Amino acid sequence: MALTDAQVGGVLKMAGNPIRLLLAGAVVKGDLMGFATGWKRALATTGTAIQGKYIAGEDGAIGDTINCYAEVVLSGRITAATPGGAVYGAEGTSNGMYTETAPVTGGDCNKIVGTILSATELHLFPCARADSVA
């Protein structure tokens, strides 16, 4: 099995105080966010790479200011994850989503953004690690 991110129904258990960020792109609660001409969904893909920095604490549209977190436990939107494994930002067109498959194409963001706690729960801490690329 492999981690599947439905990108809906996320439940966050927060660690620490929220920060408020102005959105340059729409997000869903639990999305991995980064900065590229504004705060928006992260993406690991070369050419459109946006390194993950924070987790959206709520849904938001372009121009909204929302609560975001540097560390959370996320459940409710993840299935079939492998406990103990690393979590990365997803590639392709999966902006804001998570994967347990390390991006390997040269220039892809391959920073570990968290750890898999169970088949349905992730511990995310994207700010705790330096940005990195394959």
Give percent helix, percent strand, percent coil of the chain, each to the nearest 5. 0, 40, 55
pTM: 0.94
* Per-residue pLDDT at 130: 82
* Per-residue pLDDT at 15: 74
Q: Is residue 134 part of a domain?
A: no
Query: What is the extent of the structural domain holding 57?
Result: 4-128
Q: Is residue 101 part of a domain?
A: yes
**41 pLDDT exceeds 80?**
yes
Q: Counting runs of H as helices and runs of E as strands, what totals does the chain give?
A: 0, 13
Q: Is residue 133 part of a domain?
A: no
More confident residue, 15 or 61: 61
Q: If 0-12 CB within 10 Å is exposed, 13-18 middle and 19+ buried, where does residue 66 land?
A: buried
Number of structural domains in the chain: 1
The proportion of the chain whose per-residue pLDDT surpasses 70, expressed as a percent, equals: 99
Q: Is residue 87 part of a domain?
A: yes
